[in-house]
Each structure stands twice: as structure tokens, then as C-alpha cells.
Structure 1
Amino acid sequence: MRRLLLACVLSLAVALPAFAAADVSKLQLPGDLTLAQAQKVVDGALEFAKKQGVPMNITVVDAGGNLKAFCRMDGAFLGSIDVSMKKAKTARLFNMSSAQLGAASQPGKELFGIEVTNDGLVIFGGGELLKDKNGVIVGAIGVSGGSVQEDTNVAKAGVAALNK
């Protein structure tokens, strides 16, 4: 058993440096959000949030809906961390803003009740899609901490920053 464990440890010791030296561009999926792009989105949203004077939680997810970047401004509500993450994920999962999904999920509408699926969705404004210059969805942003309109404004500022 000890020999097997030693062999595994030695294999990892040899493999890890080779993996670390791998060309990162070959590990990224085409059409996915880069870290540099995600940072541009956060920076644009953060700048607008500061002008607005409302502390925000800003979440950016990649094309697969996975966390790519996050920022919690000083004083932003703790409860809004989860809301910002779910707004971003909601937008990406359904390829529309969280507000658009909310409009389609009102009582009597076709998607009524959808917010309880997928481990919880957020169906009010503040979640927006991120698209590249060719219109391909590369991720989403979710913002929470102010009114729905303030959240939406900050999210749209993040989208605009990506497209500059």
C-alpha cells in the first residue's frame, strides 16, 4: 500500500510542473469569457456603482454559467452576494436578462413558477447577458445591492464596458 501511495505521489510530482507549463490558451474554450474581459465588466460596473453611490455586489459568470469574477463593495449587503450570483446565472441559463425572464414568469404567464427551478432563480432586473463583438453570448453579469433600477443600471454599465 505504501509503495502504491509513493508511486502516486511521485507521478503527481512529475505531472504538475508539466501541467503548469501548459499553454493556457489551449485550455480555454472558444467563445468563453476571458479573465481580462471579466475584469473589464467588473471595472465598468464598479465605476458606475460608485457614481450612483450605492454599494453593490457584482458577479460575472462565464459562458457555462460558472463564476469568473466577483466584487463586493465595502458596505454592500451580505444577502445580496447570493442574489447577484443568481441574477448572473439566471441570465446565462435562459439567455435573456433576469428582468425579461421575470416578465415571462408572472401569474398567468407561461413560465409562472420558474424561479423555484435550478436551485433558485432571480426574476427581477440586474442580470444581463454578456456578448462578444460577434453577438455570441460569452457570459453574464449579476448585480445586487440597490433598487432594481440601480442594479440594472450597474449591470448595463458592465455590459457596456465589455463592448468598448
Structure 2
Amino acid sequence: MTQLTLQQASQIITAALAKSKESGYQPMGIAVLDASGNLKAFASEDGASMFRFDVARAKAWGAVGMGVSSRTLAERAKGNPNFFVSLAATADGKFLPQTGAVVIKDAQGKLLGAVGASGGTGDEDEAICIAGVQAAGLQHG
């Protein structure tokens, strides 16, 4: 059974932070979750605000729970806001359908987890997540 390893999660975070620094983004928080939505690893850059963990984790939690990027969830939420508000309430606030998280898959397309970032715009957050996943030799979605 293929699982997301701590080493892969660490690689994702390291590469995502490197991409953020190279791009000149604000201080980031990055959360990597396994396929069950459990926290595998988290990093918060110096200067990141207090909400970075909660937001990054909630973006990733929604992505892994629904099996798609948080960008896709944000688009879906526009057409069915009541459902997504209900999901967020049911999840005790751990579900955030906002751009900035991608699912992590192995080469065969099996869902391994998700990575979410918080600190920049949704596009910036998503870009560093993608960079991290690719650097770890995994697929994103």
C-alpha cells in the first residue's frame, strides 16, 4: 500500500518554501496531510501570522476530503454555496474551499494526501504547493 511518507512531506514543504522565497511572497504556512486528513507535516516561516496553520490545513483538508484541488472546490462553491457552508459547519471549521491547496497523488493516480498553503494570494499559495509536490516526484491535482 502506497502512503505519503514523512520524507516526502518534508520535501514538499522544503521545495514549496524555496519557491515562495524565490518568488518574493509573504511568509507562508504550509500543511501536508495524509489521505485520511491527518497532519503529516507543517512549517511556518518566520513572520507568518497566527492564522496560517488553520487556513493552510483547512484548504488541504477540504482538498483531500473531496479528492480535488481547493481551486475546484472554490468554483463548485459558487454554484452551491449552501452545501459548502454546511460542509464547513459539519467539519467544525476544518473545511475551507479557497484556492491554495492541491491533492497529492502517486504515479498511478492514487490519492496520497494534500498540501495547502496560506500567506499569499490563492494563486501564490497554489503555485508553491504545486512546486513542492513536483519536487517530491509526485503528481498534483
TM range (shorter): 0.7 to 0.9
Aligned counterpart, 2:45: 73
Unaligned ranges ≥5, structure 2: none
Q: 1:72 to 1:109 in 2, by over 3 A?
A: closer
Counterpart in the other structure of 1:146: 120
Contact 1:49-1:154 at 8 Å conserved across structures: yes
TM-score after normalising by structure 2:
0.87
Q: Any runs of at least 4 consecutive aligned residues in structure 1 with deviations exceeding 2 A, and if so which?
A: 107-117
Q: 1:108 to 1:87 in 2, by over 3 A?
A: closer
Identity %: 39
The reply to whether residue 61 of structure 1 matches residue 33 of structure 2 is: yes
What is the aligned partner in structure 2 of residue 133 from structure 1?
107
Output the aligned Cα RMSD.
1.7
Please show how residues 5-154 of structure 1 align to structure 2 within 5 Å.
30-53=1-24, 54-108=26-80, 111-113=83-85, 114-120=87-93, 121-154=95-128
Kept after mapping to 2: 8 A contact 1:91/1:140: yes
Larger Rg: 1
Distance 1:72 1:124 in 2: 19
Letter in 1 for 2:119: G
Q: TM-score, normalised by structure 1?
A: 0.76
Q: Structure 1: which 5+ runs fail to align?
A: 1-29
Distance apart, 1:77 and its partner CA: 1.4
Q: Distance in 1 between matches of 2:11 and 2:84?
A: 35
Task: Name the aligned partner's letter for residue 158 of structure 1.
Answer: G
Aligned counterparts of 1:83 and 1:105: Cα–Cα separation in 2: 17
